[in-house]
Amino acid sequence: MLRLEARAQPSRAMSVASPLIALALTVLIGVALFAVLGKDPLRGLQMFFVEPLKSGYALSELAIKATPLVLIALGLAVCFRANVWNIGAEGQFILGAIFAGGVAMQAQADTGRWIVVAILAAGVLGGMLWAGIVALLRDRFNANEILVSLMLVYVAVQLLGYLVYGPWKDPHGYNFPQTISFLEPTRIPRLVSGLRANVGVIVALVAALAVWAFMFRSFSGFALQVGGLAPAAARYAGFSSRRALWTALLLSGGLAGLAGALEAAGPLGQLTPHVPSGYGFAAIIVAFVGRLHPLGSVLSAVLMSMFYIGGELAQSRLGLPKSITGVFQGLLLFSLLACDTLIHYRVRRAGGAAAHEPARSGAAQGA
């Protein structure tokens, strides 16, 4: 029998190695899955890990998918570090898209390019509003933020549906549930002509730097993390838990809203019921796989985009359902959580040395 023995200190090496082991496990299961489905596993892996990196076009598509994932995951990383369980980023993303769309639809053909800034600001505002509701209900009424933020996702989906089926429907759209196509001045500027990747990529990278600075170089970010790790210590130090709650939720809501605005005025160019595409949920995985660290989030967002594009390619070229992406995403998070055990514990044969005191406290597990 094997048993777990608590390490005296969390292992730094394992903390880095764990996502890699988890990825390896996911790939192994993927290979088995391809084999079971009667597909060539090598070709399957090629779809996920080679094709998305092959050309400038492929890289541009990769960047388009990674941008919202990075932005949302950055905010979630702050939330989770503060022990604030915002899992409704999908809803905040949708509200960002709705607010951005509302501004974008006001544009005329001769409107200046400044409107892009207004669109993005509106998106941030929309996301903050939606997350602000969660913060308010948690702060004022003690309502569980997990359930409230999640319920608001469903509400946001319906709100979007109401708008595109109702008041915002394009009168010349053959009755399709969609808004007008946003006019040229509203479009997010592209990085290279001919490729869809836009300045959103730069926005996301700047945001990653900013969040890094906030987390590790600002007092407010420090206080927020102490509150997440050791609420009693934070209270003793006089750090306000209410402030941490509001900061984490408004920051993550704003970033998710920004992602929604970039998506609406970027690759989509109009609002349809298909704005919600699961980025808000996938970003939860991105944040965890990225170790709740800004740099890690960027890397794992790229990985997750490869899963997305790989899934699309597996559909068009191998005839597999696109939803295979969701299977791999779920598996990755599962394996990661299992591997993370090795950060705090080592595996020992039973009957060996007596167990030490576990180094973790209940609070450190965020539970």
Partner 1 sequence: MDTWALLIAATLNAGTVLAIAALGLLVNERAGVVNLGAEGLMLVAALAGFATAVHTGSDWLAFGAGALAGAALAAVFGVLVIWLNTNQYASGLALSLFGAGFSAFAGIRYTQEKLASRPHFEIPGLADLPFVGPALFRQHPMVYAAMLLSVALAWFLYRSRAGLVLRAVGESPESAHALGYPVRRIRLAAVVVGGALCGVAGAYLSVVYTPLWVEGMVAGKGWIALALTTFATWRPARVLLGAYLFGGVTMLQFQLQGEGVQIPSQLLTMLPYLATVLVLVLISRNPTWIRVNMPASLGKPFFPGS
- Residue closer to partner 1 (CB basis): 114 or 141: 141
Residue 340 lies near partner 1 (rule: CB under 8 A): yes
Strand partners, 129: none
The count of chain residues that interact with partner 1, using the rule CB under 8 A, is 55
User: Taken in order 118, 135, 73, 45, is the CA torsion positive or negative?
Assistant: negative
Nearest distance in Å: CB 36, partner 1: 11
Strand partners, 348: 3
Residue 334 lies near partner 1 (rule: CB under 8 A): yes
Quick one: three-class SS letters along 195-210? CCCECHHHHHHHHHHH
Nearest distance in Å: CB 68, partner 1: 17
∠ CA 166-168-170, nearest 5°, is 100
| Residue in 286, 314, 278 with CA at minimum distance from that of residue 22 | 286
- Residue closer to partner 1 (CB basis): 71 or 339: 339
Residue 351 lies near partner 1 (rule: CB under 8 A): no
Site string for partner 1, 176-195 (x = CB under 8 A): --------------------
Alpha-helical (H) ranges within 238-362 are: 241-263, 279-289, 294-318, 324-344
Tell me the pairing of strands 345-349 and 2-6: antiparallel
Residue 154 lies near partner 1 (rule: CB under 8 A): yes
Residue 365 lies near partner 1 (rule: CB under 8 A): yes
Nearest distance in Å: CB 85, partner 1: 6
Contacts of residue 330, defined as CB under 8 A and 6 or more positions apart, other chains included, come to 285
Residue 4 lies near partner 1 (rule: CB under 8 A): yes
3-state secondary structure of 175: coil
* C-beta neighbour count of 343 within 10 angstroms: 20
Residue 367 lies near partner 1 (rule: CB under 8 A): yes
Residue 231 lies near partner 1 (rule: CB under 8 A): no
Which positions lie near partner 1, rule CB under 8 A?
Answer: 4, 6, 85, 87, 137, 140-144, 146-148, 150-152, 154-155, 158-159, 161-162, 165-166, 281-282, 284-285, 288, 321, 323-331, 333-334, 337-338, 340-341, 344-345, 355, 357-358, 360, 362, 365-367
